[in-house]
Amino acid sequence: MAKKKEYAVIGLGRFGSSVARTLVKAGYDVLAVDANEDRVQRLSEFVSHVVQADTTDENSLKALGIRNFDVVVVAIGEDVQANTLTVLLLKELGVSYIVAKAQNELHGKMLTKLGVDRVVYPERDMGVRVAHNLVSANVMDYIELSPNISLVEVSAPKPLIGKSLAEANLRAKFGVNVVAMKRDDQLLVPPLPSEKIQETDIMILVGGSDGVHKLEELE
């Protein structure tokens, strides 16, 4: 059985916290890091591995064992210098896959030149989801957390309407987890297994990209 990917999220503002909590709910191992003690304390009830550390310091990153993580998400938003320096150190330490939050297009170009694998613009693209070109009427927003793991916002596929989440059994059939459902102006986090899928529901899923693509093909 393949080893589950391990994630580190650096920067625990709104975006970083959302990514960390979503991954934990989906059953992944997550290390969450921030220099701010209050943010670390706030997230500690949701994420088991939360550490206060200055990630612009190479020794701090080494002490975290950061190079052992499969994916590192740099979600530092308010301090562009700290964001960029953290990315630079992660590259030098040999982190295999880096997702980084950009403040604007210019910052995004700089991150790309530094070798970031995926740049996201959460303020521009509505929180933790980044618009992605998928050939599907169902998929609305999409972010690749790694080459194999995606976070997706999808309108309820027709064959699932009227079924409960337990009956749909998406985890067993497609390898994806429903971490939230939008229904009108309600957000169900997390939805109960007994929750029946309605026609207007929007489902927020985390899972393997292959499973996501199979799910989007349901008509």
pLDDT digits (tens, 9 = 90+) for 40-64: 999 998 888 999 999 999 999 999 9
Per CATH, the number for 139-216 is 3.30.70.1450
- Fold agreement between 6-120 and 139-216: no
Domain boundaries defined on the chain: 6-120, 139-216
The topology (CATH level 3) of 6-120 is: Rossmann fold (3.40.50)
> For residue 11, how many other CB atoms are within 10 A of its CB?
28
Please state at what angle helix 80-92 crosses helix 105-113, rounded to 10 degrees. 20
pLDDT at 156 over 80: yes
pLDDT at residue 38, as a whole number: 93
Say which range, 28-37, 61-70, 80-89, 199-208, has the weakest mean pLDDT.
Answer: 199-208
Model confidence band, residue 144 (pLDDT cutoffs 50, 70, 90): low
Order across the sheet with 139-144: list the strands.
139-144, 149-155, 202-208, 176-183, 186-188
Are the beta carbons of 72 and 66 closer than 8 angstroms? yes
65-124 pLDDT, tens digit per residue, is 999 999 999 999 888 899 999 999 999 999 999 999 998 888 889 999 999 998 988 765
Q: Tokens for 5?
A: 């990917």
Q: Which residues, 6+ apart, have CB-to-CB distance to 49 below 8 Å? A: 29, 30, 31, 32
